[in-house]
């Protein structure tokens, strides 16, 4: 099925792993490529057969979800990552976004919320549990009040890179950006790498957040 959303599930608890699989049966367009019990297993699976969406826990043996995301970003694998976890402390939340997470749900989320998150992630859009979203918003307010350097810090970006950064901030993926600008996807990928280096960030999500905060682009 060409329109299938290919998903890899990563969860170390067998009972919850089974529950997630059952939840995704609510999505007729979903194709589960692999169900993994830890980050190492998931990394191998994702490198061999990259999914569209990675649905991962944080706390796992051998390799946790944060390290898994960092490794995938290093490999420049373009996939959308949704975190599904019990962790709701601010340090873990922002570490996950810095590592490349697009969505962040707590395990108290309903099956429909999980399904919605996967569908949105496939479109390059984010779904965040309201409780987590409140913490993200509060952090932005705190930074705005406390850090006077963000708005004036100099980032050297070309006009094209700024244009692409605007589209990243709108949630567009590389292929969509390439189509929108009528340029090669490989060219977009190179520009994105330059943007991440210029902004000194590790992920597209962090780049978008930093760009809006520093007023490099307009928030969506």
Choose among 220, 5, 36, 207: nearest CA to 116: 5
What digits encode the pLDDT tens for the residues 32-51? 999 999 999 999 999 999 99
Cβ neighbours around 75 below 10 Å, total:
12
94 Cβ neighbours under 8 A, 6+ residues apart: 139
- Written as six digits, the tokens of 34 are 């692999």
Q: Which helix (H) or strand (E) holds 36?
A: strand 30-36
Cα–Cα distance between 68 and 108 in angstroms, integer? 23
Q: Are 92 and 113 in contact (CB under 8 A)?
A: no
SS3 155: coil
Choose among 2, 168, 8, 190: nearest CA to 81: 8
CA distance to 72, 130, 185, per residue, from 111 (Å): 26, 15, 34
Cα–Cα distance between 207 and 168 in angstroms, integer? 8
DSSP β-bridge partners for residue 31: 6
pLDDT in tens, the chain (220 residues): 447 899 999 999 999 999 999 999 889 999 999 999 999 999 999 999 999 999 999 999 889 999 999 899 888 667 899 999 999 888 888 888 888 888 899 999 999 999 999 998 988 888 887 777 766 666 655 555 555 444 445 567 888 988 998 888 877 888 889 999 999 988 998 888 888 888 888 777 778 777 777 677 665 4
Total length of the chain: 220
Q: Which helix (H) or strand (E) holds 35?
A: strand 30-36
- Written as six digits, the tokens of 72 are 């995938």
Backbone φ/ψ region at 183: left (φ over 0), alpha (ψ -120 to 50), beta? beta
Choose among 141, 134, 127: nearest CA to 213: 141
Cβ neighbours around 150 below 10 Å, total:
13
**Structural domains for the chain:** 5-139 (3.40.50.2300), 159-213 (1.10.10.10)
């Amino acid at each position: 099925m060409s329109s299938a959303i290919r998903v890899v599930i990563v969860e170390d608890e067998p009972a919850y792993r089974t529950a997630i699989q059952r939840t995704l049966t609510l999505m007729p367009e979903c194709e589960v490529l692999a169900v993994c019990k830890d980050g190492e297993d998931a990394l191998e699976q994702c490198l061999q057969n990259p999914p569209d969406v990675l649905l991962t826990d944080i706390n796992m043996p051998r390799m946790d979800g944060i390290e898994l995301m960092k490794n995938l970003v290093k490999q420049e694998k373009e996939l959308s990552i949704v975190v599904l976890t019990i962790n709701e402390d601010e340090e873990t939340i922002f570490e996950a976004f810095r590592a490349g997470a697009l969505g962040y749900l707590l395990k108290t989320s309903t099956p429909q919320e999980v399904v919605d998150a996967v569908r949105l992630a496939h479109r390059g859009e984010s779904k965040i549990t309201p409780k987590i979203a409140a913490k993200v918003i509060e952090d932005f307010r705190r930074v705005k009040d406390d850090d006077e350097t963000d708005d004036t810090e100099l980032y050297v970006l070309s006009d094209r890179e700024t244009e692409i950064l605007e589209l990243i901030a709108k949630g567009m993926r590389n292929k969509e950006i390439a189509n929108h600008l009528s340029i090669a996807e490989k060219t977009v990928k190179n520009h994105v790498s330059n943007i991440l280096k210029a902004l000194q960030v590790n992920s597209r999500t962090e780049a978008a957040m930093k760009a809006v905060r520093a007023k490099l682009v307009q928030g969506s």
